[in-house]
Chain A
Amino acid sequence: MTDGGIRVRTRAEVAVLTRANIIGHITREIAAVFKPSDETLETVLRGFRGGYLEQLELMLNNSAGESVGYVAIEVDWATYSVALREGTKKNSYRLDPTKPVTGQVAPALAKAIAYMSAVAAEIGVVSCDAVYTYRAGRQEEGRKALGTVPLNEKKNSELRKLRSEVQMVVSDKETSEITVSFGHSGRGAASSA
């Protein structure tokens, strides 16, 4: 379009996402790094977008079936609610649907994704087990919506051990309600950041 020598480039393909949607997409993109099943990715997206989940923990497995790493994605819904109430943060994002959401909204988390992706390749992550924590008061509703099952004792004790291996905690100021923690046991060829 031209007007008096000024050219304005317009792009028709723009997706407008609300803040809750953004949280769902970012958590999904982070989880996708660790090769979870499609059902897990769907559960992550629906769980965070619908406000059912508070935390997602991933136990990262190598080809021998050993747990070699740990990722936790936590959403602080109180911070999210304050951002909505005070109007201090954006609640509507116009995005390019052809590019990852994280890179457009939260650059620090995009860098964390790149780093975790490199480490996951080095330590040979081939699959992961997902553990979900529901928000207080939304457990029953969330279980019905997402269809999750209780964690068994063996996995629970493995998870407790993995939690102590966190080496990196990242948050982006644009999406301050999302915190990502990452750690690995050092097995495989991975070196520290």
Chain B
Amino acid sequence: MIPYIPERFRRRVITHAVGVMTVERHPLLLAIQGQPGDGKSFQLRYSLEAAGCTPFTLSASLLAGQYEGDAVAALQATYSNAGEFARMNPECFPALVIEDFDLSPAGQRNGVQYTVNSQLLSGFLMHLADDVTSCGVGTSERFPLFVTGNDLASLHGPLTRPGRMEIFSWEPSTEERADVVHSLLVPHLSPFTRQDAARLIKKYPGQPISAFAAALTDCLARRSYEIVALTGSLSRRTLQRELAKNDEVPIADYLAALTERANPQFSLRNFIQAGR
């Protein structure tokens, strides 16, 4: 089941993918930046899959190699794999995704010494954006390249210039948040309306969407624990079967979990009590 994705986000992603596919000088890179927990990576993956694109995902941590040029080699290999995938599956269209790009060697923070890998990676990406054919990636096809991150201001300036990279700042509106939270919780909370979701957002301002998802996960994990305590079995199959029978969460339990997440009590007394 494909989860709900805000239309504005989905349209921006698909427009970029289609643009790279069809418009000759369209920028190759789309950088999606925003607050942590607002679903950039999650929504990006599902938007691409829903549109029939095959994402080739590369985490920024994989771009930090031991040797000079490792970052470029990793990106080159992924692009080359995408090229071969497209050649062998002509009906599919690959897209490259680099998650947490600001944490990759391409990010250049003040006060942090950067290595030659940073220059090489930024240089390679600029080269790729300008001319795919001369990058040694085994294909001349241009595939859309998406990067996500929380603060893309730390990237090398010329890489982010118009023509190479487009920047999309994802800040979901209250309405969009309510839609996402509603679609997330409605299978588990009953009754739970769109108005309830809007009220919840208002009651917990400043909370990222992931906080609402995490509170639900907390409740489901507690339910799993109750099943284990009841059946005495740690069998994954038993747990999944029992959870599938009833995965509804009482609203009061959910609100308690959300409040706990929104207002964590880190006092020493609480820790001692939790220990007891």
Residues of A near any B CB (own CB < 8 A): 18-20, 51, 77, 80-81, 84-85, 87, 91-92, 137-138, 141
Contact = CB atoms under 8 A, between A and B. Distances in A.
Interface in B54-95: 54-56, 58, 77-78, 80-82, 84-85, 87-91
A81 B77 contact: no
Interface size class of B (residues with CB under 8 A): 10 to 19
Nearest to B82: A84
B91 A19 contact: no
Please give me the 7 A-B residue pairs with the lowest Cβ-Cβ distance, nearest first.
A51-B88, A84-B81, A84-B85, A91-B81, A18-B84, A85-B56, A20-B88
B232 to A, nearest CB: 37
B82 to A, nearest CB: 8
B95 to A, nearest CB: 11
Nearest to B92: A81
Nearest to B76: A92
A76 to B, nearest CB: 12
Given A85-B56, A91-B77, A91-B80, A18 B138 contact: yes
Nearest to A21: B84
Nearest to A141: B90
Contact of A81 (B58, B80, B85, B90): B85
Nearest to A77: B88
Contacts of A77: 88-89
A77 B54 CA distance: 15
13 contacts: A20-B87, A20-B88, A51-B87, A81-B88, A81-B89, A84-B84, A85-B56, A85-B85, A87-B77, A91-B77, A92-B77, A92-B80, A141-B90
A77 B81 CA distance: 14
Given A18-B138, A85-B54, A85-B56, A91 B91 contact: no
Contacts of B84: 18-20, 84, 91
Among A84, A85, A141, the one with the most B-chain Cβ atoms within 10 Å of its Cβ is A84
Contacts of B58: 87
A19 B81 CA distance: 9
Contacts of A51: 87-89
A88 to B, nearest CB: 11
Contacts of A91: 77, 80-81, 84
Among B77, B80, B81, B82, the one with the most A-chain Cβ atoms within 10 Å of its Cβ is B81
Contact of A137 (B77, B78, B91): B91
A29 B78 CA distance: 28
A92 B89 CA distance: 18
Given A77-B88, A141-B90, 12 more contacts: A18-B80, A51-B89, A81-B85, A81-B88, A81-B89, A84-B82, A85-B54, A87-B77, A87-B81, A91-B81, A91-B84, A92-B80
B182 to A, nearest CB: 32
Contacts of A85: 54-56, 81, 85
Nearest to B62: A87
B223 to A, nearest CB: 32
A140 to B, nearest CB: 12
Contacts of B82: 84
Contacts of B78: 87
A77 B87 CA distance: 12
Contacts of A87: 56, 58, 77-78, 81
Contacts of B85: 81, 84-85
